[in-house]
Structure formats: C-alpha cells, structure tokens
Amino acid sequence: MHLVLKINQGMIKGLVDTGASMLIMATNVIRKLDIMHLVVGHEIYKTTFGIVTHALGRIIELLVKVGGIIC
C-alpha cells in the first residue's frame, strides 16, 4: 500500500510494509527533504542474495506524519 507522508515539511509517497523493522530512504529523498544533518554514521548490509550494500546511516529520531497521525 502507498501513502503520502509528510516529513520535515516535505511531502513524499511511501510504500508501507507492515512487517518491516526499519524505514529506508534513498539518498536523493533525504536530500530533497533536507534532513541530511540528521543522518548518523554509515552502515553496511548484506542482502539475502549475498550482495553487500552501503547505506548512509541511521536517523535516530524523525517525526513522520501520515494523515492526521504523527509517529
């Protein structure tokens, strides 16, 4: 399911995965939302296919508004 999310006064479409334990955003989305200053460190993940992926890092706390709900 897709939803419109409001993050840092910017609106984006998001894909909802109810079983996910984290939210993943592309670098260009982080730049568009002007939240690069919230990114801490970098991380390395290995996919189920054995491919190693580098990520910018974590955003420890970020308010996301979905409809009238802020989480």
Tens-place pLDDT, residues 31-68: 898 999 999 988 888 888 999 988 888 888 888 888 88
- Other C-beta atoms closer than 10 Å to the C-beta of 7 total 21
pLDDT of residue 19: 83
Closest CA to 24 of 49, 48, 59, 50: 59
- Listed in order, strand segments (DSSP E) in 19-67 are 39-40, 43-46, 52-55, 58-59, 65-66
Is pTM beyond 0.85? Reply is no
Q: What is the average pLDDT across 6-26?
A: 83
**For the chain, give me the number of helices (H) and strands (E)?**
1, 8
Q: What is the average pLDDT across 1-30?
A: 84
pLDDT of residue 5: 86
